[in-house]
Structure 1
Amino acid sequence: MRTPPEKSLRSRALDALSRREHSRTELARKLAAHTDNPDELHALLDDLQARGWLSDARYTEQIVHARQARYGSRKIAFELREQGVDASLISASVAGLKDTELERARAVWEKKFGQAPTTEQEKAKQIRFLQSRGFGWEVIVRVIAGHANC
């Protein structure tokens, strides 16, 4: 049985980009294992950006859109930083999320818990949950205070 021919670096990059948006750093990490020449990788990434096939701005927009219903702005900003997105893109994207943070936190809380905490333990559990979802303390306090019975 014949083994399939080795895919080129370019075809691997296009395969990844055809599935979903990637940040430049994320795509570089994925492709680095398939080349010994970092200059070739950087040249390919530059070419993909020049053609408009690789865009950190589009990636940021896609991540924000996909995550905003379930996560707070802090968690989204952290994920974007982890993927190597420029800080100016992150701050511009997250600034728009701050306006709806309270409503989104209430919706996430309502879906998960649906009823006010009756004990301090339940209240702490709900606070930890919202913190893990990336919502800020001020927002968490307002959400829990609006529903607290303890």
Structure 2
Amino acid sequence: MMESPLTPQQLWDCALRLLSRRDHSRRELAQKLRQRQFDAELIELALDKLEQQQWLADSRYAAVQVRQHIFKKHGPLRIRVELQRKGVTQADIEQALEEEAPDWFELALACYRSRFAFADRLDIKEKARRVRYLQSRGFTSDHVRYALETPPE
């Protein structure tokens, strides 16, 4: 017995179910729908319709993701990479970062202090470990230097 092809209505229902849980980028939603064996042309039509009805918006997705990453104390480099990976345009990414506009230096410092205890002297190995940690969180070398060199209050 052959399986019947998936219908446009099933595709629409699936897309809405996914969007009801959380925002997705267009690329991310398309990928999830392809994994469920829906037709590529039907997926594009559905995504266009979802965007027209403003149920799917990369700019809104970017804004939400930027806020979540900042809450997790991630730096601007990591946020940009994660959003690019999800297919968000450079313009949407920059706008979302600009709208949030956190003080990246203070965020790097908060991230650093939440992870490491203050030490008067750090040997080179320990300092390198701390630098790598902040870099892995997406902070620039200027942010890292600020976090390491700011004395405790």
TM-score (norm 2): 0.86
Q: Give the structure 2 partner of residue 13 of structure 1.
A: 15
Aligned-partner SS, 2:105: helix
Give distance in 2, aligned partners of 1:89 and 1:16.
22
Give distance in 1, aligned partners of 2:84 and 2:55.
21
8 Å CA contact 2:24, 2:56 repeated in 1: yes
1:114 matched to 2:137: no
Q: Give the structure 2 partner of residue 141 of structure 1.
A: 145
Aligned-partner SS, 1:62: helix
Task: Tell me the alpha carbon deviations over residues 79-112 of structure 1, each in whole angstroms, 9 at most, x when there is no partner.
Answer: 0000000111112223456651001000000000
Q: Give the structure 2 partner of residue 52 of structure 1.
A: 54
8 Å CA contact 1:35, 1:41 repeated in 2: no
Q: Give the structure 1 partner of residue 3 of structure 2.
A: none
Q: Give the structure 1 partner of residue 87 of structure 2.
A: 84
Give distance in 2, aligned partners of 1:91 and 1:57.
10
How far off is 1:118 after superposition?
2.4
Give distance in 2, aligned partners of 1:145 and 1:74.
21
Q: Give the structure 2 partner of residue 38 of structure 1.
A: 40
Q: Give the structure 2 partner of residue 3 of structure 1.
A: none
Give distance in 1, aligned partners of 2:65 and 2:103.
16
- CA RMSD of superposed structures (Å): 2.0
Give distance in 2, aligned partners of 1:52 and 1:94.
21
Once the two structures are overlaid, the 10-residue window that deviates more, 134-143 or 98-107, is: 98-107
How far off is 1:143 after superposition?
1.3
Task: Tell me the alpha carbon deviations over residues 11-61 of structure 1, each in whole angstroms, 9 at most, x when there is no partner.
Answer: 111111000000000000000122352110000000111111101011001
Q: Name the count of aligned residue pairs.
A: 143
Taking every aligned residue pair, what percent have the same amino acid on both sides? 32
Task: Tell me the alpha carbon deviations over residues 115-140 of structure 1, each in whole angstroms, 9 at most, x when there is no partner.
Answer: 13521111111000000000001110
Give distance in 2, aligned partners of 1:97 and 1:105.
15
TM-score (norm 1): 0.87
Gaps of 5+ in 1: 1-5
How far off is 1:62 after superposition?
0.5
